[in-house]
Every structure is written in C-alpha cells, then in structure tokens.
C-alpha cells in the first residue's frame, strides 16, 4: 500500500516544536530525533512491525524495537524490511521528496541524527531541502544550515500490511 506522505509531513509540522504525549520523550536518553522520525513514519504508514529485535514498533519506553529510536537501527529496518510495515532504500539526495528521511554524520563515520524532509526544491539539494527534527527541535529549517560531514537519504517506497 502507498505511504501517505501528506499525513507524515502534517504530523511532522504539528509536533516538530513540541512532544506528542502518546510517546515517550527520549531527549534525556540520547536524543529524540529518531523517535520523532518513527512517529512521522508511523503517521504516514499506520503499520508497525512487531518482530522481536529486528522489527519497528513502540508500545512503551520499556517495550519498543531498537529501530524505533536508534539511528542505525531505523535505517537498517527500512532498507532491509521484507515484512510488515514501511520499507524503502538509500537513494542519492536529488531523489528526496517530502516524507523521506535524511540522516547526518557529524564525524564522517557514524550517522547520528535523523531529519524529516518537509519540502524540496527542484532538483533537491542541501540549499533547498526544508526539514523538521527533534533533539535540536527544528521546523522549516534548511538542510544546509547543519554542519555535517556526510548524509544519506532514506526514501520510503511503500508499506506492507
């Protein structure tokens, strides 16, 4: 089934500068960026994957998949998911569309931050991609305002029931 990009972007815009009380705020446990990205992805997909260890789900702070809150686990789940839930792939940045995700590496080695694509120019580039994020709460921020060494785009292809 298709990924509802409009619902994902609407959720991101609504909650970028605050916290949805239905979810735990991981700000003091390493950051809330990927938790927020997962909420956005769930708003656009409506399907979680409850596979132990390798799935993508949130029930509570004590009952969640590593992919719900971990930058690397989130990426790995999406690009490798063959079961229920959202799936996608890494693509060059010029393929970014609203509702996709960008992950940043500040040291050039480890990806440490997850952003939500809200808008893009044509063709998409760091100078015209507008994002939302948690941890360093951002709404309508240009990608080129981050000081990063590497980035990767996670394009969402669809959702499986």
pLDDT (tens digit per residue) in 84-131: 999 999 999 999 999 999 999 999 999 999 999 999 999 999 999 999
Estimate to the nearest angstrom the gap between the alpha carbon of 57 and the chain centroid: 13
Cβ burial of 110 (10 Å; 0-12, 13-18, 19+) is exposed
Residue 30's pLDDT is 85
Residue 58's pLDDT is 97
Rounded Cα distance, 76 and 98, in Å: 20
Residues in the chain where the model's pLDDT stays below 50: none
Residue 70's pLDDT is 97
Total-model pTM? 0.97
Rounded Cα distance, 29 and 111, in Å: 17
């Amino acid at each position: 089934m298709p990924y509802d990009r409009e619902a994902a972007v609407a959720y991101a815009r609504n909650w970028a500068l605050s916290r949805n009380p239905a979810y735990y705020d991981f700000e003091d446990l390493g950051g809330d960026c990927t938790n927020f990205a997962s909420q956005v992805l769930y708003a656009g997909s409506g399907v979680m994957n409850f596979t132990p260890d390798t799935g993508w789900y949130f029930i509570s702070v004590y009952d969640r998949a590593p992919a719900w809150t971990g930058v690397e686990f989130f990426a790995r789940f999406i690009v490798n998911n063959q079961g229920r839930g959202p799936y996608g792939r890494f693509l060059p940045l010029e393929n970014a569309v609203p509702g996709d995700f960008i992950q940043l590496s500040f040291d050039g080695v480890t990806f440490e931050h997850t952003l939500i694509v809200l808008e893009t120019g044509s063709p998409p580039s760091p100078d015209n991609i507008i994002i939302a994020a948690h941890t360093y709460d951002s709404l309508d921020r240009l990608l080129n305002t981050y000081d990063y060494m590497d980035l990767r785009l996670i394009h969402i292809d669809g959702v499986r029931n």
